[in-house]
Structure 1
Amino acid sequence: MASSTAGPDHLFGLRSSFHLGAYQTAINNSDIPNLSPEDAVERDSLVYRSYIALGSYQLVINEIDSSAPTPLQAIKLLAIYLSGPGVAQESALSSLKEWLGDVAIANNPVLRLIAGIIYMHEQDYNEALKHTNSGGTMELHALNVQIYLKMHRSDYAEKQLKIMQQIDEDHTLTQLAHACFNLAVGGAKIQEAYLIFQDFSDKYQMTGLILNGKAVCCMHMGRFDDAEGLLLEALNKDAKDAETLANLIVCNLHLGKSSSRFFSQLKLSHPDHMLAKRSSAAEDRFDRAVQSVA
């Protein structure tokens, strides 16, 4: 949600930190003076989303009360949804449907963004696109790229990417979307993706997101030793990060190393992760097969 007011962009650094995964930096550097009311809401939105990214769901739930603006209410809904399966998720989904049916707030770009994120978690990509496809902000366009890639529709993802490039080719989200698109397409595009992540690492604070991006590129290029080094560096930054653990599992399998410890960490910290679910399902099938011949 970019500010529509003229003049200096006071939130540029905060946005870049958030989008590149430097969540604690975003929180620490959020005391920005002389913000307009609109910019103050965006600042608070980025801070609370940073807390969510760090897993501090309850802090967000506790701090955002019923008098907060719609964007912050939407972010609180995301925190409730992510706080755990069961009643909390069902309640969040119910509230989301109710809010999206309210014409007074349904078109709020942050509410539409949160709807897209939640329905992506639900793997209901068509429903996500109902709320994100019309775009309106760089974040919504970037989310559209992600959704289309999840749907294996790189043709539609490329159209969204071209829209972003026409708006601002150098925007952090445009570059990230371009890197993700290149990774999905593969082939010669992998080197281009690597160069984007390398450019980020040259310009900005090294984060788990950047390290994972470079590592995935290295794995695609068959450079598994390089990938392992990058992923272990990412693990030092966050020992419970789901993507780091999942990428380490894949990397170690290619290197012929044991990945059981990383599997255990992933299943304990992120039991709903796709790799953890697949592993558990395979173990269940194996157990049933053993019992059937016992």
Structure 2
Amino acid sequence: MAAPDHLFGLRNSFYLGAYQSAINGSEIPNLSSEDIIERDTYVHRSYIALGSYQLVINEIDSSAPTALQAVKLLAMYLSFPENKEATIDSLQEWLGDAAIGSNPTLRLIAGIIYIHEKDYSEALKHTHSGGTMELNALNVQIYMKMHRLDHAEKQLRIMQQNDEDHTLTQLANAWLNLAVGGSKIQESYLIFQDFSEKYQMTGLVLNGKAVCCMHMGNFDEAESFLLEALNKDAKNAETLSNLIVCSLHLGKSSTRYLSQLKLSHPNHLLVERATAAEDNFERAIQAIA
């Protein structure tokens, strides 16, 4: 008989974007020493997702296990972008250390950091061998960013063989269906709908449903989901960027959402594209003048 999975609820909350719930539900009795490390890893990653970088940096000291040190490194990377080269140097040093370089959490954090750097080949160097559901799910995301849906589908099949009903398998399936498009969009919507019926409604699930609706041309319904997500987190980059797109399709002003996105996420791809378009427009006006 399999041992009970004491961390299922916490892990699931984290996967679905219910970060505060993951933190609030972290007081779990009868955990092994390995479970305690895993629990603390998810709790601190939840704080990072909520933007509390300094709390994570302060709480994890130099005596902490490798997994937690890796999470601290992610907090430092996100908190001090001006020092990211030094952070990446430390990451590379740790990855090259035979004693800790194969740690799954360290490899996962490496993948996340190199995705931020848009260096997908370097990310895959550390994640491609998988070993955990999170690493496989990250591989799906990396291959999708590289527009290699064939490789993303292979990673999804590995996840399905391991555990077809796992939350990350279902999420990866939904992401891939959205990328494929066509009749697969409805399948994605049903996955997000299932999550919304089984678990706490989160910004991640609401954005998933909204994107499916936009693909199907249901922009009014998409807007309602996105406004609900905005009520949960007014600074969420995905919610704001999706609202910009949705508003444009509905013939509504997207200025406020774009302003919010520029303020809270100045390096977001949509902001960079909008800024480039504005600059090109100004140059064109000056040239005509």
- TM-score, normalised to structure 1, is 0.97
Partner residue in 2 for 1:25: 21
List aligned pairs for 1:252-267, cutoff 5 A: 252-267=247-262
Give the distance between the partners of 2:53 and 2:279, measured in 1 at CA: 31
One-letter amino acid of the structure 2 residue matched with residue 263 of structure 1: L
Give the distance between the partners of 1:282 and 1:91, measured in 2 at CA: 33
Which of 72, 80, 86 aligns to 2:68? It is: 72
List aligned pairs for 1:186-201, cutoff 5 A: 186-201=181-196
Which of 6, 10, 13 aligns to 1:14? It is: 10
CA offsets 1:141-162 (integer angstroms, 9 cap, x no match): 0000000000001000000000
Partner residue in 2 for 1:134: 129
- Count of residues paired in the alignment: 289
Gaps of 5+ in 2: none
2:143 is the alignment partner of 1:159? no
Distance 1:208 1:114, change over 3 A: same
List aligned pairs for 1:274-289, cutoff 5 A: 274-289=269-284
- Identity value in percent: 77
List aligned pairs for 1:54-133, cutoff 5 A: 54-87=50-83, 89-133=84-128
Partner residue in 1 for 2:207: 212
List aligned pairs for 1:167-246, cutoff 5 A: 167-246=162-241
Give the distance between the partners of 2:283 and 2:99, measured in 1 at CA: 53
Give the distance between the partners of 1:56 and 1:284, measured in 2 at CA: 34
Give the distance between the partners of 1:80 and 1:187, measured in 2 at CA: 41
Give the distance between the partners of 1:293 and 1:59, measured in 2 at CA: 52
CA offsets 1:186-206 (integer angstroms, 9 cap, x no match): 000000000000000000000
Give the distance between the partners of 1:147 and 1:42, measured in 2 at CA: 24
Give the distance between the partners of 2:117 and 2:213, measured in 1 at CA: 30
One-letter amino acid of the structure 1 residue matched with residue 130 of structure 2: G
One-letter amino acid of the structure 2 residue matched with residue 212 of structure 1: N
Question: 1:119 Cα shift?
Answer: 0.4
Distance 1:67 1:6, change over 3 A: farther
Q: Aligned-pair RMSD on alpha carbons?
A: 1.0
Give the distance between the partners of 1:57 and 1:49, measured in 2 at CA: 9
Give the distance between the partners of 2:195 and 2:161, measured in 1 at CA: 21
Give the distance between the partners of 1:83 and 1:273, measured in 2 at CA: 16
